Structure 1
Amino acid sequence: MRLKSRLLPLAVSLPLAGTLAVALPLAAMLHAAAQPPPAGAAPEENAEEPGLAYSVSLPETGDSALDDAISRASALEQLRERAPVDAFGLVSRALAEANNMRDALRSEGYYNGSSRVTVDGAPADTPGLADRLAARGASDQPVPVVITVEKGPQYTLAPVLLRTDPPGFPLGAMGETGLAEGQPARAQPILDAQGRINQALRDAGHPFAELGRRVIADHDTRKLEVTFLVTPGPRALFARPGVTGEERTRSELLARMVQPLEGQVFSQERIEKTRQDLLSLGVFGTVRARAGDRLDEEGRLPMTFTVVERPLHAVGFGAAYETRYGPTVSAYWEHRNLFGGAERLRLEAEVNRLGTTGDTSDTGGKIGASLRTPWFLGRNQTLTFDIAALRERPDAYDRDAFTLGALLERTWSPRLSYGFGPQIEFSRVTQDGVTTDYQLLGLLGQLRWADVDNPLNPSRGTRASLLVNPIYSMGESNVFTRLRAQGSTYFDMLGDKGSILAVRGVVGSIVGASYGGVPPDKRFYSGGGGSVRGYTYQSIGPRTAINEPAGGLSLVEGSIELRQRVSGPWGLAAFVDAGSVTEDPTPDFDNVKVGAGLGLRYLTGIGPIRADIAVPLNKERGDSAFGVYIGIGQAF
């Protein structure tokens, strides 16, 4: 007997003694344990009748997994408050509970178990019980309902069998079932094994594989015999894929992106990778992939990607606040498909340190433009041009600059990317009353690793980056190289994304030039939001003659933060940050500054809104007593 993957409920009567081999439907065994009965499903409910209050006493079987399954399967418990019933509805619900308990027992491997339900001390099938309950009238005491379960012995698995049609199909392509003889005969592992086998067949190039199963309970041996019935179907290669739905995007670009699928062995992973490639262009809101339901005349599998384009233009705003550094506001406008090749033109502006001195003398800002061209001369390769004019007025220095840059980025894998490109800068920098003009030529190289579950609010995984930036100063005729490595990791401590431990570390060094040969704005600084909270922005490290931050040639930072969800979108955070900046290129820990604090989080669709307050634990003269930081997104 062959059962297809879609299972139908089947009522089976099992005796308590004797030998019987019966095919059992796992869907029915798992149904009640997997989800509560839908509201309104009970036919006896009558909204016009007053509800009869009742309480439910669930059994404790000594098997916590079974107790959970019983609780989820019980319609009496799940519908008690959501769907009130009258006396007749309560009795009807109690009579139907036997099937729910049977499914819960079988879902955990108890095939000879039994259950009993009493309502107000009487069996649910007692004649006249509903009339007696209705005659009680209104009462402050709910009707007691007691569910009793005798679980019996837990069955175990017999050796699991795989049978193929046609016979002789290599079983190695189906992978391991993950089921072992003697393990408890629970329903969910069997369903999981079927899913793994089906996925293995599809990954091996069989898009039309059919997989059924036969399950037999032997009451003499207390064994469950499971046989998977496999019809693999043909092994398929992709035909030339097509893309439909584009309006402004050039069809030749899309054809070039999906063309590598042609001739490849069918694989769901390859389909998803191509779909993600199309999404990464940034011009499509959705991309759907659909494989044909039969092979074409050449014996290949047709494949179509349907795209829906996003609006052509977008506008965005941002804001942040930090004590002493003041508020920052930013805005951008972008064109998402400038020439039809998914080129993105972005114009952006930022104003910072607003009102920190009562006038605009310390106000800084930026006006810039960037042009991003995806799939530039290769797969998953992006070229970005940047141009910007900057005015910076932190406590450490004054800087007015004009910058040009280009960056060629390539995605090596879903987690790993790298990029490099030239930089040109013309700037005027003033520190400690001394003004210097710089003409700089640089080459930026970067390597990034990202393996987190959510880029805006990660709960597990790791992020890391490495930056190598050699720079030639034409006025000083010297070369120096900025090196910076950063990593962060996230631990879901309880497995429910409610308690997250986040750890961050940074190390940096500038080599190749003396301290005075490195422009002040290219040195390392520490302190402030996203760095060492509690300290003024850029305040950690060497000082100038007038006690302003001077920056250094080495940097070490570390942070540890516990993020705790409290209720709904609200959460709290507790953190400790530390950092050190020195004039020597070799990092050291002789003068580490430590800050600690608490934060409030409110989760939104674009990431958490963050408000932190921190204090310096070993502050020096001139350091603030505390710092307040407000922004969007986690600190790291």
Structure 2
Amino acid sequence: MSPEVQRLIAGAGLVLSIVAPASLHAEEEGRFVIGDIRVEGLERITPGTVYSYLPLKVGDTFDPGRSPQVIQTLYETGFFSDVRLSRRDDTLVVRVEERPAINEVRISGNRDIKTEQLEEALRQVGLDRGRVFNRGVLERLKNELLQQYFARGKYNVQVDVEVEPLERNRVDVIIDIAEGQVARIRDIRVVGNETYSDETILDRFESGNAPWYNPFSRRDQYSKQRLSGDLERLRSLYLDSGFLNFNLDSTQVTLTPDFKDLYVTINVQEGEQYRIREVKLAGELIVAEDELRELLQVEAGDIFSRRRVTESAEALTRRLGDEGYAFANVNPIPEVDEENGEVDLTFFVDPGQRVYVRRIHFNGNDRTRDEVLRREMRQMEAGWYDASRVERSRVRLQRLPYIQDVNVETRRVPGSSNQVDLDITVEERLSGNFMIGAGYSQSDGVLLNMSLSEDNFLGSGNSVSVTLNNSQVNTVYSLSYMNPYYTLDGISRGFNLYYRETDAYEADISRYSSDRFGADISYGIPLTEYDTFRITPGIEGVDVITSDYTPDEIFDYLDREGNDYQLYTLGASLSHDTRNRTVFAEKGNLQRLGLDLSLPGSDLEYYKLSYRNQHYLPLRERLVLRLSGEVAYGDAYGDTSDLPFFEKYFAGGYRSVRGFEDYTLGAPGTRDSEGDPYGGNFRLLGGAELIFPPPFMQEADNMRMSIFLDAGQVYPTYEDFEAGEIRFSTGVGWTWLSPVGALTFSLAEALNDKPDDELQTFQFNIGASF
């Protein structure tokens, strides 16, 4: 019996009033046969509800000794705050006092914990609109709220709860929260460490002193969960360095009297460092032992590392998965020699049963047809399960422009030991886009753009785009269509119609204007899983318009070649792409070898060769090193005297070498007689970029920041190349994939500029593609 029920029964004068009037005090006279049961005091609850809980019914003999049982049964329903029993002749009278009903729960002052989370917690303990109000539950919830805020480092939080009575036995529950400020970490001290310094350890922590260069950092804001993660990182540091007996003795968090600052002390015992004496493979080795050993990242003589042992076991598991053993288990078993500080390591291999894929199910593709996703699959139905093919299928789906995320789950088929189903859940992104807007680019000036594009036309995976872009430099009208699976073998075919007006004067290069209009058809032929050959034949008309400010070099070229050209073009490229994503890639490599050619019979005969390489190296979670390089060369052939001036290469600006004005870089011989950039036939670019999420928006998927080093130069020809002419710059960049297009900003400093170079520290591009 609960204390509250006991108090209810044993309260002053209550027992006498509960049991009966004076006639019930007699020994035998207290018993009576219940002729009727009457319930009094009800407001919202129906009598039938009370009868359903009452352990008595009409016709039973009432014994005063059962009164406590009756009271406890009704009280434990939670509906009543008071229960009394009495007798009127042969009628048992049950007098109750209902608990009030909750009319509304109002929460205010909360910022760190969302209102929806608090309301859900209230519902789980029965505090919700229309429910019976229980003050005891409310007090427990108040204490839980305090603990939640304490875990977030807000020790001076105040939670005030007020109950406002209303008519008809109702109440409003008002919860007012004053969260206060997060306690700041003033110092973290590690005691007992000898192998690693405090600085080395704390550099791995997410908690600690805030860096001076980041005013938005929350590193010094205490969080119990974050500190727990830091302690696990500390444990991993030592276990990955051979300290098998490493132990975290204790962690003390000391608050200052005003609850605003705290100090953390971590006591550790390092123990001895262990080395691996022998590495063995045991169990059922489906794959040749020599091949499996090549996958191991540990060998005899190495310092024991838990991380490398785990990665070795995962590599073995993946290799077995490639053979169809989807549920293989590789268990690393260490045998520790405490006396000599050595470990014998045995990888016990249990492949389980080989399985094949019965069915592949797609979920979440509300707009995209099943066959569009299925054609990206490299794991086939009715084939042996292959872990590498399953992973490659996931990446291919993830690279589709209309798919945001992909999750693959391998599920056993009920009643079968050698079959599995693949459940693939995709999260689609909006594939259609109608955009009309304006922007500004330092290279192109004011931008007016309108585009209608659909990357997944009618769920077919085909893309259609109509674009109108207007800027001070370029006016572009285009219509394009692409079918990525023109044939079942994955050959793509696309069409493109375009018209482009260019005013080079507005770009601060050699002064001329041109109108270019054309059409082309493109075929993409997959050679391997990662290699694609693309060929694009087309036709283009070019009309060059001069002015009084046009330089002599262009007039001389037009005198030799004319100013109106009909060109038969051919583009060809060979690309190798292993990136995990096409936008904001985190790992992989992209290489492209390209050729753009005006075919014999054109009014101008020339070619342009280029090679580009981008390599993404993940350093740690969401920290990526991007290395890039490009070399490009163009020249004329046949009767044409030189590469056309409208096909020359330029450098400088956010597309190449940041910190230098757009199009202005160039070695001697790349400017015209007016002193404006004329371009060159040979371009060399390179760079390194450390990419990371913004410190103040760690979870943002559409933003990236970077620290970069750019290098590049343009030369009249490759024979004019001089390494000393290459320009370098360094700085920070920021890219945001906003709803109106990509926004890019950079703050750069030239490292070896010369007096004639045109510098531009801050560069940006808004509202235009890049």
Normalising by the residue count of structure 1, what TM-score does the alignment of the two structures yield?
0.68
Residue identity matched to 1:322: Q
SS at structure 2 position matched to 1:447 = strand
Deviation of 1:206 after TM superposition, in Å, equals 0.3
Distance 1:374 1:271 in 2: 21
Distance 2:607 2:442 in 1: 27
1:369 aligns with 2:479: yes
Deviation of 1:108 after TM superposition, in Å, equals 5.3
Alignment of 1:207-222 (within 5 A): 207-222=326-341
- Point out the structure with max Rg over C-alpha: 2
Residue identity matched to 2:310: L
Alignment of 1:158-197 (within 5 A): 158-164=277-283, 171=289, 174-175=292-293, 176-197=295-316
Distance 1:461 1:204 in 2: 25
Alignment of 1:221-620 (within 5 A): 221-239=340-358, 241-258=360-377, 261-294=380-413, 299-316=418-435, 319-322=439-442, 326-353=445-472, 364-395=474-505, 396=510, 397-413=512-528, 415-431=530-546, 432=550, 436-450=563-577, 463-472=590-599, 476=603, 480-488=605-613, 504-516=629-641, 519-525=644-650, 529-531=654-656, 534=660, 537=663, 540=666, 541=669, 554-560=681-687, 573=708, 575-582=710-717, 587-589=719-721, 599-604=731-736, 609-612=744-747, 617-618=753-754
Residue identity matched to 1:267: D
- Map of 2:764 onto structure 1: 630
Distance 2:529 2:625 in 1: 24
Deviation of 1:455 after TM superposition, in Å, equals 5.8
Deviation of 1:392 after TM superposition, in Å, equals 1.0
- Map of 2:222 onto structure 1: 82
Match of 2:325 among 206, 210, 215: 206
Q: Do the aligned residues in 2 keep the contact of 1:70 with 1:105 (CA within 8 Å)?
A: no
- Map of 1:59 onto structure 2: 191
Residue identity matched to 1:537: Y
Deviations 1:174-231 (A, max 9, x none): 5444333454444333333332332222223201223445445444454445444432
Residue identity matched to 2:486: F
Q: Which moved more, 1:203-212 or 1:517-526?
A: 517-526
Q: Do the aligned residues in 2 keep the contact of 1:238 with 1:300 (CA within 8 Å)?
A: yes
SS at structure 1 position matched to 2:571 = strand
SS at structure 1 position matched to 2:746 = strand
Q: Which moved more, 1:49-58 or 1:420-429?
A: 49-58
Distance 2:522 2:184 in 1: 71
SS at structure 1 position matched to 2:523 = strand
Q: Do the aligned residues in 2 keep the contact of 1:112 with 1:153 (CA within 8 Å)?
A: yes
* Structure 1 residues without counterparts, runs of 5 or longer: 1-37, 85-92, 121-132, 354-362
Residue identity matched to 1:557: L
Deviations 1:35-64 (A, max 9, x none): xxx99689xx99889999997752344322
SS at structure 2 position matched to 1:241 = strand
Distance 1:52 1:254 in 2: 50
SS at structure 1 position matched to 2:563 = strand
Q: Do the aligned residues in 2 keep the contact of 1:281 with 1:374 (CA within 8 Å)?
A: no
Deviations 1:296-327 (A, max 9, x none): 8695433343445443522356845226x534
Distance 1:544 1:101 in 2: 62
Going from structure 1 to structure 2, the CA distance change for 1:274 and 1:460 (only over 3 Å counts) comes to closer
Deviations 1:222-266 (A, max 9, x none): 444544443211222333534455444444555555486235432
Superposed CA RMSD in Å reads: 5.4
Going from structure 1 to structure 2, the CA distance change for 1:581 and 1:449 (only over 3 Å counts) comes to farther
Going from structure 1 to structure 2, the CA distance change for 1:258 and 1:298 (only over 3 Å counts) comes to farther
Normalising by the residue count of structure 2, what TM-score does the alignment of the two structures yield?
0.57
- Map of 2:6 onto structure 1: none
Q: Do the aligned residues in 2 keep the contact of 1:508 with 1:587 (CA within 8 Å)?
A: no
Deviations 1:344-376 (A, max 9, x none): 1111121122xxxxxxxxx53001111111111
Deviations 1:256-311 (A, max 9, x none): 55486235432222112223334444343444333331488695433343445443
Going from structure 1 to structure 2, the CA distance change for 1:608 and 1:181 (only over 3 Å counts) comes to farther
Residue identity matched to 2:564: D
Q: Do the aligned residues in 1 keep the contact of 2:636 with 2:643 (CA within 8 Å)?
A: no
> RCO (CA 8 Å, sep 6+): is it higher in 1 or 2?
1
- Map of 1:154 onto structure 2: 273
Q: Do the aligned residues in 1 keep the contact of 2:683 with 2:712 (CA within 8 Å)?
A: no
Deviation of 1:164 after TM superposition, in Å, equals 2.3
Going from structure 1 to structure 2, the CA distance change for 1:107 and 1:457 (only over 3 Å counts) comes to closer
Distance 2:759 2:341 in 1: 71
Distance 2:478 2:233 in 1: 65
Going from structure 1 to structure 2, the CA distance change for 1:207 and 1:401 (only over 3 Å counts) comes to same
Distance 1:265 1:531 in 2: 47
Deviations 1:535-594 (A, max 9, x none): 563785556676666555x22333556769896576555645322125xxx642379966
Residue identity matched to 1:82: Y
Distance 1:600 1:101 in 2: 31
Distance 2:497 2:627 in 1: 35
Distance 1:527 1:101 in 2: 45
Deviations 1:52-100 (A, max 9, x none): 9997752344322999789999x999x997379xxxxxxxx9xxxx999
- Map of 1:18 onto structure 2: none
Going from structure 1 to structure 2, the CA distance change for 1:510 and 1:212 (only over 3 Å counts) comes to same
Q: Do the aligned residues in 1 keep the contact of 2:327 with 2:351 (CA within 8 Å)?
A: yes
Q: Percent identity?
A: 16
Distance 2:236 2:726 in 1: 58
Deviations 1:146-178 (A, max 9, x none): 76655443344453444426x998656754443
Q: Do the aligned residues in 2 keep the contact of 1:241 with 1:259 (CA within 8 Å)?
A: no
Q: Do the aligned residues in 2 keep the contact of 1:322 with 1:529 (CA within 8 Å)?
A: no
Q: Which moved more, 1:420-429 or 1:101-110?
A: 101-110
Alignment of 1:19-58 (within 5 A): 57-58=189-190
Going from structure 1 to structure 2, the CA distance change for 1:141 and 1:464 (only over 3 Å counts) comes to closer
Q: Do the aligned residues in 1 keep the contact of 2:649 with 2:683 (CA within 8 Å)?
A: no
* Structure 2 residues without counterparts, runs of 5 or longer: 1-147, 160-179, 210-218, 697-703
